Structure 1
Amino acid sequence: MRTALVIGTGLIGTSAALALASRGVQVHLTDHDPAQARTAAALGAGTDSLPEEPVDLAVVAVPPAHAAASLAEAMRGGLARGYLDVTSVKGGIRRELETLGCDLSGYLGTHPMAGRERSGPLAATADLFEGRPWVLTPTHDTDTEVLNLALELVSLCRAVPVLMDADAHDRAVALVSHTPQLVSSMVAARLRDADETAVRLCGQGIRDVTRIAASDPRMWLDILAANPGPVADVLAAVATDLDATVRALRALESADEDKRADGTAGIDDVLRRGNAGRARVPGKHGAAPAAYETLTVLIGDQPGELARIFADAGRAGVNIEDVRIEHATGQQAGLIQLMVEPAAVASLAAALRDRGWAVRQ
């Protein structure tokens, strides 16, 4: 791939352009907002001038509601040898292109499974896709050259290609991406009118659950409007669990011993099914989740503290597998949770204590 055209310079489009440009591809940028394309160009993502001849690959990175129209316009203009989109839904866009009478041999629907709560070119990074799955949905009509160009794009962005059927993809993201966004928003919405005393008690659990609730509502309206059926199906199943859980909790309030026993069994069931589902979420390098031990350390909120604790762990010969930070309310300190292999816990705890850290196991 020598040349590319990125249509839409938001987070995903600009990040892909930055990755391509950093690896020697001549990238042209266009956007319905010229100022946004100029911003992306100023960041080093390419040039905001249109190509004078067809490029190797056109990457359409616009909201799902506009993707088919943008693709059709690019195809009719003969702007590239191959065309793909990077929207989060796939089946509907392909059907729209069929309705518009487009030649689908030069098109491939894709979806990089990466993103951030922030949007726009200023949130973009060249390494956004590194190590992340990038779904490709070829059909028997897809030209081999276009598939190869898509695979090259994925490789240049250092992502991991995953081949799927378009509709199977839409059902999958409804479960692992779109429904979690709505559930996170629903939980966060409970905080809007909550008493300030309750909000001050927010800990890591509520922060984890509501993190993605900070996402741009306009972006998610576009995504959910393009995949409503599969998301509604998953939410209906969640609603069934919610109803059963509410009944179980009400039963625990009862004076009747049998009802309380039923309530306990109902809560136990949903918690254990949650354990089983969480255990299937891929862990490090896509492998099965490892059973790491957690070492908790009090850490000051000063520059260099994180670097110091990681360096001390390195000197102890221990690899930090994962990390979380919980900030202390009203204090210039917090708790850092270091996830390590179980066999390394004792030696790391001893090493950190020797270096003056307040370790809590």
Structure 2
Amino acid sequence: MSSPTTPAPLVDTGLRPTDDRAWVREAIRKLRADATRTSDTHLIKVHLPGCDRVDLYLKDESTHPTGSLKHRLARSLFLYGLCNGVIGPRTTVVEASSGSTAVSEAHFARMLGVPFVAVMASTTSPAKIALIEREGGRCHLVDDPTAVYAEARRVADAAGGVYLDQFSNAERATDWRGNNNIAESIFEQMSMEEHPVPAWIVVGAGTGGTSATIGRFVRYQALDSRVCVVDPEHSAFLPAWQGDGEARLEPSRIEGIGRARLEPSFLPLVVDRMLGVPDCASIAAMRFLRERTGISAGPSTGTNIYGALRLAAEMEASGERGSIVSLVCDRGDRYDETYNSDEWVAAKGHDLARYAGVLASAWDDGLWTG
């Protein structure tokens, strides 16, 4: 009969090393200070001559230091990484992005003094690469655009770093209950307006994080606002909301929104309505907004405007009074060689004239003819 095994003595391993805790505290302070400086971007009231019953407001996210709505997401992703212990003073930070998210993440990486690598398709324009490099980031190019996610993870693993993965982590990195998020900022700024609780909040979806944050917040606060997500052509979000979760064969042609696959951060159940917006309509609307208000913004803002005007005309027609809030997502000067260029638009075959009358009718007369 064998004798019982004597248990091994417990080993006191002590506390986890804390050499980096002071750096983490300082890094979090810097990010929270940035939030204090920049979170309350301007909320602009836009007069719609044809919609006397409806007030339209645009929250101008282009005024962030990195020029876009993605400034909020990038800051949240860095805070998420710091508070989960995966970002330290020597961590290489990696993202799969060639656009505004990479620009903003490069900005915060430089603020904290850590390396940043953006993984993107080799077809990315030199102008986009220059924006990321200007903020201190390094661009890693791949020939197959569908491989950027796997390659970003490989690059992070090889460097002993972290892949931020905006498309999976956007909805979980933002505190949707409040704490300086975009939803809380919108409702605080609306509190003194005639219709402080918007009938609709209109946003596009790239990662899905913004619509998830706003949709959760209005439910948590027991508000009557409804969330409308506007979606460009070739995007998987609208079909998924309708019950078709299959990936699309082509990517979105409207930068910043629309995805060829259903991203984990997009939460269909917190979205009250979705509107598909033709790409030509998005481009026409960004130009229309500049002509009527002087606000120069990118094509995803055009998608927002097209959807917001449709909803305003519907409210006007039904006699409903209230307000609509949408976003200016980024600055228009980023698109001077593309969406703002008549030559580029013509080369892509976009017929903007067909939507000019639709926009003018909604704006001037409150009638939707689309």
Q: Same fold (TM over 0.5)?
A: no
TM-score normalized by the length of structure 1: 0.27
TM-score normalized by the length of structure 2: 0.26
